[in-house]
Structure 1
Amino acid sequence: MPDLSVRAAEAVELMDDPAADLRMLEQTYRRFQMVNAVVSRPGMIYRRDVRPHARRRRVRILDVGAGGGDLCRSLATRLRHDGFAAEITALDPDERAMRWAEAHDAGAGARYRRERTGDLVAAGEQFDIVLSNHLLHHLGPDEVSALLAESERIVAPGGLVVHHDIARSRTAYRLYAAGTAVLADNLLAGSFIRTDGLISIRRSYTAAELADIAPIGWEARRGFPFRVQLRWEHPDPRP
């Protein structure tokens, strides 16, 4: 058991290596939807963060650090099922991720952009909902602060920013290690999911650590199971 009392800031996930095996990387993207359905609970993200805004008007949704695009596809399916109109944008600076996600859009109709939030700030773009899932642990404290500042600038009045991630804990590490060990030779075979998932937990922030980083107005929340999020709502000037 590694030391989880402090964040393993220097650890690097295998899939982040520019020279990572492409077949394993694509298998990782392929399996993300299955794993994240359990770990990230996209249905909860939809019901709590997206649907209340979608009921009001056509929503512009931005998924920051979208990776293989599984969250975008999941949200698009739920929005379509409920009859809501939305424009979904997947943002990631990794060309490999965006190329794979666009090729596997599966009718979601998302836009895939190889850019960073700073590029959107410079272009003056705005969205009603800004989301991320499993992005924060890839960033150092200064980078998290920059992301939050840029998120505030690209969310429209009355909009919502929510950055979701894993919460670092010994229990989360033990359970993930045990659960993925059973699947390592079948469903997860040929992917980085088991190894990188354990590294991700070691790199993740606790809610208290995120609260220390976040500026005034941001709320750090604990979630179930072993989840954390940073939330900020743009004041709506309309009566």
Structure 2
Amino acid sequence: MRLPAWGLPALDLRERRPAAVEQMDDPDCDLDALHRTYRGFGVVNPVVAGWQLTYRRWIRPLLDPARTVTVLDIGSGGGDRPRALARQARRDGFRVNITAIDPDARAHAWATARPAVPGLAFRRAASGDLVAAGERYDVVVSNHLLHHLDPAELDGLLADSERLAVRRAVHSDIRRSPTAYALFSAGAGLATPLFPGSFIRPDGLASIRRSYTPAELAAVLPPGWRVQTQLPWRNLAVWDAR
């Protein structure tokens, strides 16, 4: 199916396009635009990422009011997702210690410049660094990370997740869909005045083109991992410790 996107040429979304460029991944991208993008994620992600459902189904059942549960967020970017998770768990009466890691110095600087949230710490690190240090966490999560990775990086992330997670790993990402592309294109276009000069719309559309269908993701997951679909247009790669 070829679907016209608002303000963009028609695109064929039947095949994944891992070469689609996301401007914020460019180490030389405009820093002001990157910061506006991080700021906008705090508004956009609660709408499109579906983490309320992910939290209720996959994370909250593992929380324990009698003890502090440790969570690792890999590739945390500007930090809006782990901040929201820490606040939600606290509202529900649970104690969590969340470690949010990202190797990008720009993301780390932005995240650590925001007001502190109890139970949340940011570190500039990659998952392999934590494996090498022998660290373990009850739950390992990520958001919008899988589609950024090449095959070797994806294999490394999943292997690291198995070593780091004591109980469960949940990697949430976009599920490629012509409908999702059209709706995000239109919605982000209408919301452009809220995020002037950011990468949110072009990078969001590139992310959809780079993302997997459920069948594609299942084909690249190693044994022990499974794909769970979730609204709105989400793929979850889930691993549970035996």
When normalised by structure 2's length, the TM-score is 0.92
Equivalent in 155, 169, 175 of residue 161 of structure 1: 169
Paired residues in the alignment total 232
- Per the alignment, residue 75 of structure 1 pairs with 85
CA contact (8 A) 1:27 1:190 kept: yes
CA contact (8 A) 1:29 1:68 kept: yes
* Secondary structure at 1:231 match in 2: strand
Distance (whole Å) between structure 2 residues aligned to residue 169 and residue 54 of structure 1: 33
Equivalent in 81, 97, 105 of residue 87 of structure 1: 97
CA contact (8 A) 2:131 2:160 kept: yes
CA contact (8 A) 1:73 1:105 kept: no
- Per the alignment, residue 5 of structure 2 pairs with none
- Per the alignment, residue 197 of structure 1 pairs with 204
Which amino acid in structure 1 is aligned with residue 223 of structure 2? I
Matched, 1:152 2:159: no
Distance (whole Å) between structure 2 residues aligned to residue 79 and residue 116 of structure 1: 25
Equivalent in 27, 50, 55 of residue 41 of structure 1: 50
Matched, 1:115 2:125: yes
Distance (whole Å) between structure 2 residues aligned to residue 38 and residue 209 of structure 1: 25
Which amino acid in structure 1 is aligned with residue 49 of structure 2? S
Which amino acid in structure 2 is aligned with residue 165 of structure 1? D
Determine what percentage of the aligned residue pairs are the same residue: 52
Distance (whole Å) between structure 1 residues aligned to residue 76 and residue 147 of structure 2: 14
- Per the alignment, residue 4 of structure 2 pairs with none
- Per the alignment, residue 181 of structure 2 pairs with 173
Which amino acid in structure 2 is aligned with residue 68 of structure 1? G
* Secondary structure at 1:215 match in 2: coil
Matched, 1:130 2:140: yes
Q: Which segments of 5 or more consecutive residues in structure 1 lack a partner in the other structure?
A: none
Deviations 1:21-74 (A, max 9, x none): 111111111110110101112222221222111126311101111001111110
- Per the alignment, residue 39 of structure 2 pairs with 30
- Per the alignment, residue 207 of structure 1 pairs with 214
Aligned residues: CA RMSD: 1.2
Distance (whole Å) between structure 1 residues aligned to residue 99 and residue 207 of structure 2: 24
Distance (whole Å) between structure 1 residues aligned to residue 118 and residue 104 of structure 2: 20
Equivalent in 30, 50, 62 of residue 21 of structure 1: 30
- Per the alignment, residue 230 of structure 2 pairs with 223
Q: Which segments of 5 or more consecutive residues in structure 2 lack a partner in the other structure?
A: 1-9
CA contact (8 A) 2:162 2:169 kept: yes
Distance (whole Å) between structure 1 residues aligned to residue 30 and residue 44 of structure 2: 20
Q: Give the deviation of 1:109 after TM superposition.
A: 4.2
Equivalent in 2, 12, 15 of residue 21 of structure 2: 12
* Secondary structure at 1:232 match in 2: strand
When normalised by structure 1's length, the TM-score is 0.93
- Per the alignment, residue 3 of structure 2 pairs with none
